[in-house]
Structure 1
Amino acid sequence: MAAADPTEVDIDARDLVRELVSSLHHLRHVDLNTVGTALRLVIPPEHPDPSQADEVKPLSKRQRLDLAFDAIAPSDYEAVCAGFLQHGDLTIELSHRVEDLLWSRENWPQITVRTRREVAEALDAFDAIWLEADGLLNLVKRHWVLLSTEWSFEPKDPYEPVVRHMFRFPGDWTTVEFFREIGALDGGDRRFVLFLEGLLSGAVNPREARQREMAAALSPILARAGLKITESGSTDGYPAFTIVAAGTRPRPAQLILFASRHGKPALRLRDVLDQSIEVLTGDDTVLAYDVPVSDRGLTWRDVESWWSHRKGIPADQAKLELWRRLVTICADVSPAQHALLVAYYDYAKDHDPLFALLPEVWLHWDPVSRRQRGEDAFLNQRMDFLMLLPGLRRVVLEVDGEQHYATSSHQPSPRIYSDTTRGDRDLRLTGYEVYRFSGYELSEDRAASTVSEFFDRLLHRA
């Protein structure tokens, strides 16, 4: 799906949020009093001033909801949509529209009609594209809204044509026709990707050899669209396939060593066969986030919750402790790194989800020193900042200090600079997005504008 014009996106989001808020009109006044928090809304009470309840006419439900909508800042439209998707009682059609709006921000590669047709034609080679009819029907109902085209006093099942042409009389539709009828030829890019993942799943095709053959047939077609199929695990004993943008990592992060003070953490392999890593260094040296990160990305709330459970302390205390640790670490490294951290969290504090920006993250680790390892030593072992965003995106931010281009005696060094640029290339070729900032951009009078402009574009909020 091509990136939308920012003005159009804001209008679409505003109109959708207005519709979502208006959909609460069926609730009782007393229910509106409690539903606001879960849905990230500020709904005024029926009697704004209880002391004048007998003299002033109470607000109608429509007035209360209009005021709640007016109180929503445009920057919060996406958060409100996410709240309704998680906690609201939405129709299937409205739920899909909310999903499409949120997914449109994830910058998925455009999947053209031609690519979708080629996918369908490749699937035709397998005769029926399903082994479990219920699995395919549930998949279609999950991702595509079909409307009945027949008028009758008796409501018609809009999915009946799928049952008739795909199951009762298999072969009536080619896969291209099937895609056209359900809307897969022109639906959202992210929705189409999730639909294909479902076709490759054991719920629809519970035969491993068939799953792998279908994945192999689709791989070269999707590669031309900038996508790749990876095996990300298993579900109910069958392989689980995930489609990601080419260059991204096939698996979510399993361990993050961050907020590292100077000095290399002590590690050892507990089980070589399972690649199980044990961190021997205490929290005073490095923090080890050991919760697998989902494909929704890593949020600040996730990190707070992890620290709260790890330490057995309240969430507010965990939040304060972590923040002090991150700020102290960055201030010890450089004023510019400290400025980027503070400016980001000040910029993003009202955004939901608030994706975590983690400083001083270990990427490579070698028990042997670089002097001993020689030319085969890892470059850029530690990253200044790491963000894990939806869609398995791994974003590295680097603040360029003198150490990136000069020797300890402050002499410019082409060798050091070449190591820096080569390390960047290595990261990009293994699926990381790398962005560099100069200290000048993060000076006191420039940090806020630099950070807000960058993250507006990175997080697709512009």
Structure 2
Amino acid sequence: MPCSLVRAALGSEMAADPIEANIDARELTRELVSGLHHLRHVDLDKAGTALGLVIPPEHPDPSQVGEGKPLSKRQRLDMAFDAIAPSDYEAVCASFLKHGDLTIELSNRVEDLLWSRENWPQITARTRREVAEALDAFDAIWLEADGLLNLVKRHWVLPSPEWSFEPTDPYEPVVRHMFRFPGDWTTLQFFKEIGALNGGDRRFVLFLEGLLSASVNPREARQREMVAAISPILARAGLKVTESGTNDGYPTFTIVALGTRPRPAQLILFAGRHGKPALRLRDVLDQSIEILTGDDAVLTYDVPVGDRGLTWRDVESWWSHRKGIPADQAKLELWRRLVTVCADASPAQHALLVAYYDYAKDHDPLFALLPEVWLHWDPISRRQRGEDAFLNQRMDFLMLLPGLRRVVLEVDGEQHYATPSRQPSPRIYSETTRGDRDLRLAGYEVYRFSGYELSEDRATKTVSDFFDRLLAGSYRA
């Protein structure tokens, strides 16, 4: 059977139907949990803690150790799977992706499941074929053979031959037809054999980004020529190629949905305390903004954020240099400031901040979650500006993730749907929803939490489940 046909069976796009999609999540979760059977009983206890599974002990009644019949590993895992709520299947899959030491084939399936839930433009077979044909205009789509082979291994699982008496590298056909005998395969044939014509949309985009990278094509002129060749095709699919930074002196390119912000953030005003910050234009022609407000009122992160996102270490380093203080002192000062600002804003915002950093403290990288971030600024008050006033001038929280993703988290209090006298107001609610639409159309991802979800007994699970899914794939090279 041709590689492409087997790959189609392994990596086809996840079903769009919600019922079928939930069945996929259920069966994949069952497979992941059952895959822990090779562990010893004592190691199952540790795995359950790391993965967020409720695995019953080997001896359900500790007082009967040596007397009652212990549970088998299979029984313990079956009970752990049965205890998972259907709404938690995806969070469990994301946890396995992060902690589970999965095979590349299983990792890809989990990624495809999680990515299929994203609102990503569909990339049809026609678009993929046209991209391949456009790239065929080049003598070869690679300058570094190792870079292309590593890219293929990262994103595509190729099956071993069905009949062979000796171990065979499934990627040997790529080596033979692309490197030893270049020209054997057209780019379209190459896409077909590795599964790029029918794999998940997000995976295909990441693969294209890899082709445009210096790891595969370390020549800037060639990178830009390839971008120019495929950009019109991707535009018809609702995508655009943006130059998002540099790597070892070469440009890096990111493929994003139309409407996504095309450039990294240049300035972040966050952790504000006392009303609107004072700004002025120092040089109109250069669009140079001067912040007149001191650090006591608002913090000003003025280091451009690259394609890799903004981490807590970045913010610590910035504050340490800004204040001329040791890193440990900077870390403590910043944390106290963020906690104070959130506590002043609302108990729910405070709960979200603390729960996130408790969840993420052992992650590398630890992406920064910044509170009270200014989005719009207008020297005239909303009352004076009237109907033309900006909505959502401040965001409750902002995260800047790899790939130029701007993630906004909002905690819904009464001010989002009621008057100061606590009367429900359709007008106020409509402003909230319109503000969300404006943010999404501008390329931001917007997620809302209710105060109920962030109550004392629910915040930890709410936050961990959400970030397991939001950050899935962000830690895998």
**Cα drift, residue 55 of structure 1:** 1.1
- Cα distance in structure 2, aligned partners of 1:425 and 1:76: 27
Residues 356/11 of structure 1: CA separation in 2 closer, same or farther (3 Å cut): farther
Q: Which residue of 1 aligns with 2:394?
A: 383
2:92 maps to a residue whose letter is: V
Q: Which runs of 5+ in 2 are unaligned?
A: 1-12, 320-326, 418-430, 453-461, 471-477
1:329 maps to a residue whose letter is: A
Q: Which residue of 1 aligns with 2:183?
A: 171
- Cα distance in structure 2, aligned partners of 1:24 and 1:402: 47
- Cα distance in structure 2, aligned partners of 1:294 and 1:78: 29
Aligned pairs for 1:132-281 (under 5 A) are 132-253=144-265, 256-265=268-277, 281=294
> What secondary structure is seen at the aligned counterpart in 2 of 1:248?
coil
Residues 280/403 of structure 1: CA separation in 2 closer, same or farther (3 Å cut): same
The 8 Å contact of residues 120 and 175 in structure 1, kept in 2 or not, is answered as yes
> What secondary structure is seen at the aligned counterpart in 2 of 1:249?
coil
Structure 1 vs Structure 2 CA RMSD: 5.2
1:328 maps to a residue whose letter is: D
**Are 1:328 and 2:344 counterparts?**
yes
- Cα distance in structure 2, aligned partners of 1:422 and 1:343: 26
2:59 to 37, 40, 47: 47
Which 10-residue stretch deviates more, 56-65 or 426-435? 426-435
Which 10-residue stretch deviates more, 181-190 or 8-17? 8-17
- Cα distance in structure 2, aligned partners of 1:296 and 1:238: 15
1:30 to 27, 35, 42: 42
The 8 Å contact of residues 376 and 394 in structure 2, kept in 1 or not, is answered as no
**Cα drift, residue 294 of structure 1:** 8.3
What is the number of residues matched between the two proteins? 417
**Cα drift, residue 161 of structure 1:** 1.0
The 8 Å contact of residues 338 and 371 in structure 2, kept in 1 or not, is answered as no
Residues 53/396 of structure 1: CA separation in 2 closer, same or farther (3 Å cut): closer
- Cα distance in structure 1, aligned partners of 2:310 and 2:17: 27
- Cα distance in structure 2, aligned partners of 1:173 and 1:182: 12
The 8 Å contact of residues 373 and 394 in structure 2, kept in 1 or not, is answered as yes
Which 10-residue stretch deviates more, 265-274 or 127-136? 265-274
> What secondary structure is seen at the aligned counterpart in 1 of 2:256?
strand
> Can you list the C-alpha shifts for 1:308-352, whole angstroms capped at 9, x where unaligned?
97765599xx59x85664353259xxxxxx8xx69999xx99x99
- Cα distance in structure 2, aligned partners of 1:258 and 1:234: 26
**TM-score normalised by length of structure 1:** 0.72
The 8 Å contact of residues 412 and 451 in structure 2, kept in 1 or not, is answered as no
1:211 maps to a residue whose letter is: Q
Residues 288/65 of structure 1: CA separation in 2 closer, same or farther (3 Å cut): farther
**Cα drift, residue 362 of structure 1:** 1.1
Residues 105/426 of structure 1: CA separation in 2 closer, same or farther (3 Å cut): closer
**Are 1:62 and 2:78 counterparts?**
no
Residues 395/403 of structure 1: CA separation in 2 closer, same or farther (3 Å cut): closer
2:58 maps to a residue whose letter is: E
1:282 maps to a residue whose letter is: D
The 8 Å contact of residues 370 and 399 in structure 2, kept in 1 or not, is answered as no
Residues 295/237 of structure 1: CA separation in 2 closer, same or farther (3 Å cut): closer
The 8 Å contact of residues 228 and 244 in structure 1, kept in 2 or not, is answered as yes
Structure ranking higher on relative contact order (CA contacts 8 Å, 6+ apart): 2
- Cα distance in structure 2, aligned partners of 1:86 and 1:342: 26
2:345 maps to a residue whose letter is: I
> What secondary structure is seen at the aligned counterpart in 2 of 1:106?
coil
Identical positions, percent:
71
The 8 Å contact of residues 14 and 200 in structure 2, kept in 1 or not, is answered as no
The 8 Å contact of residues 39 and 84 in structure 1, kept in 2 or not, is answered as yes
> What secondary structure is seen at the aligned counterpart in 2 of 1:206?
coil
- Cα distance in structure 1, aligned partners of 2:293 and 2:45: 50
1:132 maps to a residue whose letter is: E
Q: Which runs of 5+ in 1 are unaligned?
A: 332-337, 405-418, 445-451
Q: Which residue of 2 aligns with 1:79?
A: 91
Q: Which residue of 2 aligns with 1:107?
A: 119
Which 10-residue stretch deviates more, 265-274 or 206-215? 265-274
The 8 Å contact of residues 270 and 278 in structure 1, kept in 2 or not, is answered as no
- Cα distance in structure 2, aligned partners of 1:248 and 1:168: 40
Residues 53/278 of structure 1: CA separation in 2 closer, same or farther (3 Å cut): farther
1:382 maps to a residue whose letter is: Q
> What secondary structure is seen at the aligned counterpart in 2 of 1:221?
helix
Aligned pairs for 1:440-459 (under 5 A) are none
Residues 108/310 of structure 1: CA separation in 2 closer, same or farther (3 Å cut): farther
Aligned pairs for 1:14-25 (under 5 A) are 14-25=26-37
Q: Which residue of 2 aligns with 1:282?
A: 295
- Cα distance in structure 1, aligned partners of 2:153 and 2:167: 17
Aligned pairs for 1:284-303 (under 5 A) are 285-286=297-298
1:4 to 9, 13, 16: 16
**Are 1:117 and 2:129 counterparts?**
yes
1:75 maps to a residue whose letter is: S
- Cα distance in structure 1, aligned partners of 2:413 and 2:99: 43
2:103 to 91, 113, 117: 91
> Can you list the C-alpha shifts for 1:36-89, whole angstroms capped at 9, x where unaligned?
222222222222222210211111111121122222222322222222212212
- Cα distance in structure 1, aligned partners of 2:69 and 2:306: 49
- Cα distance in structure 1, aligned partners of 2:333 and 2:381: 41
> Can you list the C-alpha shifts for 1:132-156, whole angstroms capped at 9, x where unaligned?
1111111111100000234112122
1:131 to 131, 143, 162: 143
Residues 19/426 of structure 1: CA separation in 2 closer, same or farther (3 Å cut): closer
The 8 Å contact of residues 268 and 280 in structure 1, kept in 2 or not, is answered as no
Residues 157/31 of structure 1: CA separation in 2 closer, same or farther (3 Å cut): same
- Cα distance in structure 2, aligned partners of 1:265 and 1:133: 52
The 8 Å contact of residues 266 and 303 in structure 2, kept in 1 or not, is answered as yes
**Cα drift, residue 270 of structure 1:** 12
> What secondary structure is seen at the aligned counterpart in 1 of 2:117?
helix
The 8 Å contact of residues 261 and 329 in structure 1, kept in 2 or not, is answered as no
